[in-house]
A and B are shown apart, each in its own frame.
Chain A
Amino acid sequence: MGHPWIPNSVESVRREMLEVIGVGSVDDLYSDIPESLRLKPEEWDKLPIGFGRILSEPEIARHMEELFSKIESYRSPAPFMGGGVWPHHVPEAVKYVVSRGEFLTAYTPYQAEISQGLMQALFEYQSLVAELLEMEVVNGSMYDWSSALGEALLMAIRVNGRRKFLVPETMNPRHRRVAETYTWPHDGRLVSVKVDRRTGLLDLNDLESKVDGETAAVYIEYPAYTGVIEENAALIGDIAHRKGAIYIMGVEPISMAILKPPGSLGADIAVGEGQPLGLGLNYGGPCLGILAVKWDGELVKQMPGRIIGLTSTVDGVERAFAMILQTREQHIRRAKATSNITTNEALMAAAAAVYLSLLGRNGLVELAKHIWYKSHYAAKRLSSIEGIEAPLLEGEFIMDFTLRLPLEAERFRSFLKSRKIMAGIPLGGLAWFTSRDLLLTVTEVHSRNDIDRLVEVTGEAVRGV
């Protein structure tokens, strides 16, 4: 029998095709590979790849079940952890749409006429995010928040020729590492701006003293890695602009439903993580890098990645969608392209479009408020435990918040794990945080019972010291 995934592996077909080609065996088709490099089929077949033979579906299923049995997924309660990807409920309708083969098994829509539906879905993703951020131009996606940030910093270098970037000292340390990696070849330099230890807000005096004619961009997170909502977001933009620097805001999209959008706060570029919009956690990937800019030709010209636009058919009769502004991209501009990105996170962008459409204007606001309430409830209850400071920072927050424990954060985490709760990201090593500081996350997936249980077990952990 032929292989189920290789229709022409049937011997008679193979022979017929070889005859048309005019060769005796497939070996002949590889005759141009230098002898010293060529592997004999017997040699290759002995390599340690797979399990030494072709598996049937029941066999692979058994194997996968065995591997998955060595995974403990925390679902009730879900992990009380964020830090760049957050636990959220993924609506079944989202999963359904993205598992449709017409989307899932399509390539990048190079042939527009036969790919209108896919392109419309991607255009809708761009359009829905544009509404959320109140920014006019959104690309079809980047790999994740951090790489979107890296690319945004490179955009800034290309726009103003400067190389210094001001970032909050408490910024997501993984995002910072990615930003450093992306800007390193271009002599980019990330410089920390102080963050107030009491409020978690950016120290505006320190910012003023550091922003100068060398500053390519000022970057803030909104909400911050610590969960704190930067109240001075508009002022920070003014400070950046006064020195000719570009203002980049990094956002978590669900909270945008209740927070003033970057477009109204003076942001030139917004980046962010679309993972909360119906993607699931997936141990950190795939994610969905959001990248948006305001209506400014200079910025748009420097944008990385694919953009889908609305146009019409040549006869002008019907609406149509197309990949636009492609002269920025690698397949046209090669070495002069704004980025090398081509494959992006298209399917995840489609998922986000479905998610935002399902929740809609009121649903998303309700969800954001719901999360605000639950995270405040958790912080409040935790703060009633003797020895715990929660939230550690006084600035208003949503979803994520910091707390200081009377014991080492790592020990605390182990204790909770022994009680089947996965909670918190230790903050030690970041800015002025100590090894007793923890970043905790509460979303709609955590019921009141889950939170009460977290509080109860936290109490036990603390009393254990």
Chain B
Amino acid sequence: MEGYRQAVWREPVILELGLEGRGGFKIPELEREIVDSVGEFKLPESVSRREPPGLPSLSEVEVVRHFTRLSQMSYGVDLGPVPLGSCTMKYNPKIALKYAFDDRLSSLHPLQDQDTVQGLLELLYRLEQWLKAITGMDYCSVHPAAGAQGELAGALIIRKYHELRGNLGVKREIIVPDSAHGTNPATGSMAGFKVVEVPTGEDGNIDIEALKAAVGEETAGFMITNPSTLGLFEERILDVVEIIHGVDGLVYYDGANLNGIMGRARPGDAGVDILHLNLHKTFSAPHGGGGPGAGPVCVKDRVVTGSVRLRDLVPGFRIVYEESTGKYRLEGPGQHSVGLLRAWIGNVSQLVWAYVYIAVMGAKGLRESGEISVLNTNYFLAKVKRETTMYTVPYGGDRFRKHEAVVSAEKLRDETGVTAEDVAKGLLDSGFYAPTIYFPLIVKEALMVEFTESETKESIDAYVNRLKAIEEIALKDPGEPKKWPLNTSVGRIDYVKANHPKTVTPTWRVKVLRDKGLLGPLR
């Protein structure tokens, strides 16, 4: 995209704007009768605020302009490709926006009578049924608020499983591959387990010998991401499942990368016990600049002990359909459930979004999404291999990738000093979002690219052309890329100042107090 220029508004922080007396929202007038009936406004002295809070005073015009300007200094899928690996940045269909943000939905209180929300419960129930069919699992719950919370749900289920079987004293470890997303090991810790990492082999699969060595009595579970963060299908998944089940461990499957196999294989068929999905990835719900998400958790109907099944351990509320009355209702959490992870049923508007998406696509459309995303990845990779010289493709040799590919700029760095970060900035300059960089950690100078099925062949071609142009510039004038980006609203950012105890500024309040000499370094 030649000629890309992002807006430069140099917009003040909103707390610097405004004029006493202005307001952007008129509060309805209080009826005289109410004031007369209640009398004077009063609060106990000990809790009565003396000064109004230090918020600005702005008209609606100014507020809308301010935030519209800020939006022009932001970048999303509606503007161009966001091929962030591991993030599955699909197009977010506008018909789904209409229903996800519908006023009829936004005015529903979660405790209003369930008779009055039958249409919504039906929708959520059907969504859970669809997710079961998509994954090959036996029970799904839409409770978790994001992928990481779905993982936490899963890890807590593992904990409960061993507790109910009386083995929690022994089952203290969760095993995670070294290529795993950071949320996996972090989740293991949050659920009270010791986290053990196993390496990845040259072929991109988990090193089975290392896994066997790591597995033992104390193994509570294993967290597998498939396709992995290298974009490779875990070829020995069946062996992995068998090894873990062999020590009464549970297999947790991070389904954030489901797009890579959707339509062609199902995790449930591989015998995994628990998984989560990211509806804000695979099922087109938008990311909103970092959230909200929705991370349903699904389980197999495995026996825990006696009549208790894994599904009884799942957190959140169960949506039950009663055939006799033709009605839906919410139950739980039941006595064996790990409990609640958030106060209410789930991130409903994101769930409605995903419902619309799946309803439109059906099985066939979802398969096509998966296929074209894989096609796009391998097309990109073939072009990179053919048309560039400085980007290599570590792990897995010539194996086909699935939803994403990880390219290394190590050679480029070694020969020119130009790093993955520089390449990323060069992409921004031509109006593309950059890939995920420096992840997975096992790849040096990683550029992790995921186009999804939403990208056109033309933009993939343009992306590769830009990568090629960057390497040419790097070879000719390695100093040049260090100046990038030039076309975004600001240039490179000072992270030292951003994080130093004396200058770190997490809020405007800190700046004001520090400028007045009222705040010391953060210690």
Contact = CB atoms under 8 A, between A and B. Distances in A.
A210 B319 CA distance: 39
B76 A71 contact: no
B428 interface: yes
B341 A147 contact: yes
Interface in B115-139: 115-120, 122-123, 129-130, 133-134
A211 interface: no
B104 A114 contact: no
B363 A44 contact: yes
Interface string A50-64: 111111010011011
Given A282-B349, A297-B522, A112 B107 contact: no
B290 A344 contact: yes
Interface in A312-341: 312-316, 318-322, 324-325, 329-337, 339-341
B324 interface: no
Given A8-B453, A8-B456, A373-B34, A281 B106 contact: yes
Contacts of B13: 120, 123-124, 127, 310
Contacts of B147: 342-343
A430 interface: no
B389 interface: no
A118 to B, nearest CB: 4
Interface string A20-49: 111000101111111011110100111111
Interface in B83-131: 84, 87, 89-93, 95, 97-99, 101-113, 115-120, 122-123, 129-130
Interface residues of B, number: 215
Nearest to B521: A297
Interface string B494-512: 1101110101111111110
Interface in A163-210: 172, 174-175, 177-178, 180-182, 184-186
A283 B345 contact: yes
B448 to A, nearest CB: 11
Nearest to A311: B498
B393 interface: no
Q: Tell which of A3, A36, A307 has the most Cβ of chain B within 10 Å.
A: A3
A360 B439 contact: no
Interface in B466-523: 485, 488-495, 497-499, 501, 503-511, 513, 519, 522-523
B273 interface: no
B213 interface: no
A62 B188 CA distance: 44
A357 B14 contact: yes
Nearest to A360: B57
B156 to A, nearest CB: 7
Contact of A313 (B99, B367, B490, B519): B490
Contacts of B522: 295, 297, 300
B243 interface: no
A9 B368 contact: yes
A85 B289 contact: no
A230 interface: yes
A285 interface: yes
A132 interface: yes
Interface stretch (B245-253, B352-360, B406-414): B352-360
A323 B70 CA distance: 17
Interface in B146-184: 146-149, 151-152, 156, 159, 176, 182-183
B485 A114 contact: yes
Contacts of B233: 30, 32-33
B379 interface: yes
B374 interface: yes
Contact of A343 (B290, B349, B383): B290
B24 to A, nearest CB: 4
Contacts of B288: 98, 103-104, 106, 345-348, 350
B106 A280 contact: yes
Interface string A214-245: 00000000000000011111100000000000
Interface string A133-153: 010111011011111000000
A261 B130 CA distance: 46
A407 interface: no
Given A111-B434, A232-B46, A281-B109, 10 more contacts: A9-B372, A37-B238, A44-B363, A48-B129, A68-B119, A93-B60, A102-B79, A261-B53, A297-B501, A337-B182
30 contacts: A16-B457, A17-B376, A21-B378, A36-B238, A44-B264, A44-B363, A50-B362, A70-B119, A71-B104, A79-B109, A93-B64, A95-B101, A99-B101, A103-B76, A105-B79, A117-B71, A131-B55, A181-B338, A309-B506, A310-B508, A311-B495, A313-B494, A341-B148, A343-B280, A348-B288, A348-B291, A358-B23, A360-B58, A373-B34, A417-B116
Q: Across chains A and B, which 6 residue pairs bring their CB atoms closest together, nearest first?
A: A284-B344, A185-B192, A101-B78, A347-B288, A70-B119, A117-B73
